[in-house]
Structure 1
Amino acid sequence: MSKINRRTVLRGILQGSAVGVALPLLNCFLTDSGRALAATGQRIPVRFGTWIWGCGFIPEKWVPTATGASFAMPEDLQPLEPYRNKLAILSGFDVKLDGVPNKPHITGCLGLRTGVPVPNESVKAPTLDVIIGDEIGKNTRFRSLEISTSGTERSYSYRAAGSPNPSEVSPMALYQRIFGPGFQDPNSVDFKPDPSTMVRQSVLSAVQQDRQRLMREVGVDDRRRLDEYFTSIRQLEEQLALQLQPPAPVQNFTMPKAPPNVPFDSEMDNVLITHKLMAGLLAKALQCNQTRVFNLLLSDTASNLRRKGSTTTHHTLTHEEPTDPQLGYQKEHAWFATRSMVAWRDFLDEVAAIPEGDGTLLDNCLILAHSDCSIAKAHAVEGIPMMIAGNAGGKIRTGFHLAGNADPVTRVGLTLQQAMGLQVERWGVMSMETNRTVPELLA
């Protein structure tokens, strides 16, 4: 047999007809580094995602006392000890308001994600995930996947004001969306494109021919709306075109089983179960290139989490619970903050469990975990807690704690965009506009 590469097909004769069987992704297709495909030089893709928890943190239980690599994990971060070398802990970065009213639990989150402080949910720029998704998500079935695990259909992924990307809230609905009708097993020997996909693609192409004429006949506002609409049409066409091609084989991929029926509500114990199920499905979707961009919302920014048997939400506790005189913080609020970090550990477990190249899926991810504020009772947008997980295929350095010293949070966003290959030199507006990356993060 001639030299084996990804185009190698096992050929034979079956009942007088020539047949061929494609090979899965084998280790011999990889370079010694395990990251690039040996025959083509193509790198294993890097995925980008965000993971959000609501209502901030207890500083003394979360922020390490030392910076650099030799820091001790504070109490709330101790569940993450197995991942300390895969994490960069970022404290002390601020959303700068520049006189903009601080809308509780909104301004901090969207300011961090867009580089623009806003007094409400009328974002003035796409969120970070959308910007990166437009660069890396074109060749996947889903430009991005949005997930909410506490029963609320909230999303903080925006292309424009008033148009958040909707979240899936049910593990079964997420499973059906990814692995139900329309999914093509990348390691299946049979590939049969859906005829309805072919029809939909041709119809959309025909409609596009009238685009220029229509754009000339409408006003400025309608042109803006139509531009957003046609952008979504182009994305759909790209996704449909992908479904007409056989997917590339995926090493170590096995089809996930349908998740059990579980209650998806805001009760903390149920949320942890739902979150783990949906994290596992998302990890599988990333593995088989259904998407390269995701946003997972553990709890709404005004956290709707609650204890079993209680109707009092985490958010309510941050305002109504008195500070424990001995502890120096709100004990019940701290309970939810601690379990949010347990959930983050569970998420990393699912991503790190999938082998890829010479490492794991986590090694080829760049994940930004963040909250919406630091001190929830004050809705403070100074020192919003953040973490970076994964090494972005070798482009990101982790294993340290960095104090931001009140620098604008946009330094982090700019760094992530550059690490993901975007040609951008500046990001943000007014006091948050910056051309300074975080060099400690860049490998």
Structure 2
Amino acid sequence: MNKKWQISRRKMLKGVGAAIALPFLEAMASPLNLGGNYSKDGFPIRSAFMFMPNGVHPGRWTPEGIGRDFRLSPTLTPLAHLKDDILVLGQLMNKHSIFQGADGHYAKTANLLTCLPIQKTAGDNINSGGISVDQILANHFKNETLFPSLEYGLDRIQTGVDINVGFTRLYASSISWKNATTPLSKEIDPRLAFDRLFKSFVPGNSSQENPHKSSILDAVLQDAKSLKNNLGRSDQDKLEEYLESIRSIEKRVNNPSNLKDFASKITPDIKKELIRVNQNVEEYVEVYGGVNITEKTRLMFDIMALAFWSDASRVATFMFGNSVSNRNFSFLEGVSGAHHSISHHMNHPEKMEQYDLITRWHLEQYAYFLDKLKGIKEGNGTLLDNSLVMFASGLRDGNRHSPRDLPIVLGGHGGNKIKTGQNLIYEENTPLANLYTSWMQTVGLEQETFADSTGPLDFIMA
């Protein structure tokens, strides 16, 4: 299982989308585009889901006041300048993350976007319960963008078994699921993420020919064949399904009319940003072990913003860390340890303070991405006006592993269909899936419910 994912991710996807850059021009916002898939101004609605591991300081998260008359909590102060662009949602719960038997994290991570029970296993027979909401959105837009979705993160896939709870660590590494048994592996390398989308469109790039003239699958066919011979039947089926999904993407990428159309519509502003981000990626050097991860995070966010701006994709997920992440945050002033260890604070004041500082760092990066979208003009508004960006953890407090009253912020105006600038506290244990039901309806899906949803969330739709 481990070997399969490494090969399929690094070799089979490397460069698969190098010629994909499509700005959504104002000329495209015609009256024909004013259906449910689009904003009130005729622009597509983008969706991003951001996952932070290990929960938050429970006493410092919730704002004071309800509705528009609220004051941000100490933890949420990095979002102060974006107060009118966000919703803070209280008392939402993913009820199927409560696992009968020991589990601290895995059943609260793998199903964050499926809201269905996962199958406990120490092997590769993983099951998240069903398709994740991001992939439902991706399928909805798949004929309108060359890449249905992007899956990004900071940590490599985890393998092995957590002997404390008897779960495979594979559940720690993915929140995006093509179906119940097929997680989508995330890209963690800024260089590969950028080149996959934009390599051929960087001004001055000497390699302007279509990098997909020969199928990337053909290039690694022997590797795939060798790997397949070493897999069980179920994994062989998964691998073949995965390869077929890449073939379908390649067909779209290699379509000459699509490529010519995309290349002709790269705006001067996008070209300028491509040059800047490419230079930053070129200068970035990956270093592991207790180092400041801020630069890498923001590079990935720059690439995500470019993908949304160019309409290369309208759906993305980002994992700040795998579940149970013990990233060393000693690069932050006031922090002298690793995330997961500190999250088990045992109510010790010094550890709780460090725990809160780590959460604030995550929110600063989230704010960076929202600011990036807000700074991009689109029609009479901004890209943030036409986006929805969730920040969430799968548990409330790392010390108690509580899945109730999840820490959730929703940024963006969803095509001006969302009433932002509010702190909303719902009835206890309101299904998290209700948020996803509202989300799908906002982008134009005629879907009344999702997973254990009881309907859309009240008070958020404009």
- Give secondary structure in 2 for the equivalent of 1:50: strand
Unaligned residue ranges in structure 2 (runs of 5+): 1-22, 121-125, 159-172, 219-232
Structure 1 position 103, deviation (Å) = 3.1
Q: CA deviation at 1:379?
A: 1.3
Which of 165, 180, 184 matches 2:184?
165
Change beyond 3 A, Cα 1:318–1:199? closer
The aligned counterpart of 1:256 is: 275
Q: What is the aligned counterpart of 1:416 among 439, 442, 459?
A: 439
CA distance in 1, matches of 2:388, 2:24: 23
Match of 1:178 in 2: 197
Give the partner amino acid of 1:318. Answer: S
Larger Rg: 1
Q: Residue 113 of structure 2: SS of its match in structure 1? A: helix
Give, in whole Å, the separation in 2 of the partners of 1:398 and 1:306.
34
Distance 2:176 2:32 in 1: 37
Question: Is structure 2 residue 56 aligned with structure 1 residue 53?
Answer: no
Q: CA deviation at 1:400?
A: 0.4
Other structure's SS at 1:155 match: coil
TM-score (norm 1): 0.76
**Compared with structure 1, are the counterparts of its residues 54 and 221 closer, same or farther at alpha carbon in structure 2 (3 Å cutoff)?**
closer
1:334 aligns with 356
The 3-state SS of whatever aligns with 1:383 is coil
Aligned with residue 246 of structure 1, among 240, 253, 261: 261
Partner of 2:147 in structure 1?
A: 142
The equivalent residue for 1:20 is none
Matches within 5 A, 1:13-92: 29=27, 36-37=29-30, 43-92=42-91
Contact 1:148 1:169 in 2 (8 A): yes
Give CA-to-partner distance per residue, 1:113-172, whole Å, 9 cap, x none. Answer: 102022545212111111111111333232211221356673321113553222222222
Tell me, yes or no, if the aligned pair for 2:151 and 2:318 is still in contact at 8 Å: yes
Please tell me whether residue 155 in structure 1 is matched to residue 178 in structure 2: no
Output the CA distance in 1 between the equivalents of 2:286 and 2:237: 43
Alignment of 1:349 onto 2:371? yes
* Residues 1:407 and 1:342: Cα distance change in structure 2 (over 3 Å): same
Report the Cα distance in structure 2 between the residues aligned to 1:224 and 1:324, rounded to whole angstroms. 46
RMSD: 3.4
Asked if the contact 1:398–1:441 (Cα under 8 Å) also holds between the matched residues in 2, the reply is yes
The question of whether the paired residues in 2 share the 8 Å contact of 1:93 and 1:384 is answered with yes
- Residues 393, 408 of structure 2: 8 Å contact kept: yes
- Would the aligned equivalents of 2:150 and 2:317 in 1 still touch at CA under 8 Å? yes
Secondary structure at the counterpart of residue 296 of structure 1: strand
Unmatched 5+ stretches in structure 1:
1-23, 31-35, 204-218
Q: Distance in 1 between matches of 2:303 and 2:252?
A: 23
Quote the Cα distance in structure 2 between the aligned partners of 1:39 and 1:162. Answer: 38
Q: Deviations for 1:249-290, whole angstroms, at most 9, x for unmatched residues?
A: 2553232333222335463x6211211122112211211122
Q: State percent identity of aligned pairs.
A: 21
Question: Is the CA contact 1:138–1:235 (under 8 Å) kept in the aligned structure 2?
Answer: no
1:318 to 343, 361, 383: 343
2:9 is aligned to none
How far residue 377 of structure 1 moved from its aligned partner, in angstroms, is: 1.4
* Residue number among 109, 132, 135 corresponding to 1:130 in the alignment: 135
Question: Equivalent residue of 1:392, what SS?
Answer: coil
Structure 1 residue 222, shift from structure 2 partner: 8.2
- The code of the aligned residue for 1:108 comes to K
- What is the CA–CA distance in structure 2 between the aligned matches of 1:70 and 1:353, rounded to whole Å? 26
Mapped partners of 1:175, 1:417: distance in 2 = 28
How far 1:439 sits from its partner (Å)? Answer: 2.8
CA drift at 1:385: 1.0
| SS of corresponding position for 1:59 | coil
User: How much does 1:101 deviate?
Assistant: 4.2
Distance in 2 (alpha carbons) for counterparts of 1:79 and 1:220: 46
1:375–1:184: structure 2 CA closer, same or farther, 3 Å change rule?
Answer: same
Deviations 1:313-337 (A, max 9, x none): 2102222x44235x8x722222212
5 Å-filtered alignment, 1:245-394, equals 245-247=260-262, 249=265, 251=267, 252-253=269-270, 254=272, 255-257=274-276, 258-259=279-280, 260-265=283-288, 267=290, 270-308=292-330, 312-319=337-344, 321-324=345-348, 330-394=352-416
| Matched residue SS, 2:431 | coil
Moved more, 239-248 or 111-120: 239-248
What's the counterpart of residue 93 of structure 2?
94
Distance in 1, matches of 2:176 and 2:33, equals: 34
Inter-CA distance 264–289: structure 2 relative to 1 (3 Å threshold): farther
Q: What is the number of equivalent residue pairs in this alignment?
A: 386
TM-score using structure 2 length:
0.74
CA gap 1:197/1:391 in 2 versus in 1, 3 angstroms: same
